[in-house]
Chain A
């Protein structure tokens, strides 16, 4: 059996002989589920229940044993793209309390931060000081720099938004096309992070973990294995782009006040998403789904891509964590625990396209 962070038993993981941690990201949940706060459910139970059904199916055989107690051991709190979803000081304390009571470790996720956002993030990190297993996922190097200077011992993770590589779902599957020049194919399937300058930064700032996306193009082997830091892989959404002017956040604003970067909103992202179907160039009629969640756009990766990446995870020396993002409706369901039967992570139209 496989040891997890808390030495609970988990199902065997083919060949690698070591643990893969599963973290659950709840970017749209402002506070722990009420049932958890009331003591009617543990946070790890709530997190397990919130994993989208199809993602759970995909992960179950390898990482999430449905019967033997293995499950998520880390919760990711906060949004990777929007500082309006940054948890308040009070909220982070309640998350820390819930996590501690459930033996779940806490990752505070920070988006690319503005001046005000950075100040609030510093406050949130201060409120979490001393929390067991705490790590902070940073979305920009300015935040890394500031947090490292304030908290020399803090575990800082580079968020996936800092992993500079193209992942345009309209084209990414062609990045490794034999028709492209070999150097271009190579360049589109790796980042610049193995270059000496970037390595020097990783060392200078003591970064021991970086997050990566479930890329559509096949990443070069050294992009996975040629690093000193550990890797966390996200599922089921590929990050595509974001804006500081939010589409849904403009919903209730007057026309002249819509799409202003950093403008106030009613967190419409907790209530709505926008689904786009974007044509693939070439006139084949093929389309790609693009899901607008909050101020960001994601592509739900098809099962074939997910299965390929999970195959890589099972044999990787560097990948030791999977991060499953739970969309808003699923967190609503988690908030009303215990009622797992009500969980329906995505609207039917989206669900049909993701992993079905």
Chain B
């Protein structure tokens, strides 16, 4: 099982390769896209600057350095959709990335664009982004039929579903799941909001005026008594959960470990699902955060490979984080069923 690691500059390659990265993924926003769409329509799930490469030379250099370590590079084109005009603009971009820059695969979310890419570039590997929301075996079959090389599972899947979908994909599709850092509260493939200008809606919600409304018709009042207490507690917990999912306010532990969404406790089980790779998110994060995230996953995964039990691996993960109260809250966990 490889570790798929974000990269946003060629200078990060050596450091991340030396710490166990097995694959890289990055974003690229060419000048012609920015000229046409400015910042109003993002080419991928990050803004046009943060976390994206913008120069052809940088992509080529990044790929060259990665290949020197035997590491493939995947470029993400994971906007929820592209209009016909945008697809026409992107086809020559992707062609050039593959032919001249040496990019190994592209990641897409628009199912129609996947079909077109497979038709126009039959030799290009195309990965189905988590934004495509492959939640069931029908979707795995569907993607296999369309000729996708890999399916990236959404973060909301539990370990049992991941294992079952890996079985469904076996022999036809590579598989990838999240292990660290990405913290969307909603199902990303069905979230029609934008972070542009307004920020993430999910992060905003707990802080805006809200109230729980009973739906009992004319006679219904506000939830009172025990139910009223539960409603208040619910909204407090919602605020906590969103904070944890949002990288605990993008904070770090006193030991310099980035806080936030995490699947370290589940590595014992994830290693047995048949996954091709595990994704560490954060193209827009600092080089330091990328490095420490990779080191944490590598450390626990190596422990599992050396024969650690499920409990030992999970205990070590919690100890490594050194934020026991955060871990106890469970709200950072991708795979809560595996949490100690």
Report A's interface with B, CB cutoff 8 A: 81, 112-115, 117-118, 140-146, 161, 164-168, 170-171, 180-181, 183-188, 190-201, 239-245, 247-248, 250-252, 255-262, 270-281, 290, 297, 327-329, 332-333, 342, 344, 347, 349-350
Contacts and interface: CB of A to CB of B under 8 A. Distances in A.
B186 A344 contact: no
Contacts of B336: 256, 260
A329 B216 contact: yes
Interface residues of B, number: 81
B241 interface: yes
Interface stretch (B192-200, B275-283, B305-313, B314-322): B192-200
Contacts, number: 268
Contact of B110 (A192, A245, A350): A192
Contact of B194 (A166, A244, A247, A261): A166
The 7 closest A-B pairs by CB, nearest first: A142-B139, A198-B112, A142-B138, A197-B115, A146-B138, A184-B40, A197-B116
18 contacts: A140-B136, A142-B136, A144-B142, A146-B136, A165-B192, A181-B37, A181-B38, A186-B83, A186-B85, A193-B112, A194-B84, A197-B110, A197-B116, A197-B117, A242-B186, A257-B330, A262-B156, A329-B220
B204 interface: yes
Interface in B60-101: 80-87
B238 interface: yes
Contact of B36 (A181, A255, A281, A333): A181
B170 interface: no
Contact of B198 (A143, A170, A333): A170
Interface string B179-217: 000000111011111101110011011001111111111
Nearest to B144: A145
Contacts of B331: 259
Given A171-B196, A184-B37, A347-B215, A195 B111 contact: no
B133 interface: yes
Contacts of A194: 83-84
A167 B198 CA distance: 13
A140 B82 CA distance: 18
Contacts of A197: 87, 110-117, 119
Contacts of B238: 247, 250, 259
Contacts of A277: 208-210
B137 interface: yes
A347 B189 CA distance: 31
Contact of A168 (B156, B192, B209): B192
A92 B95 CA distance: 49
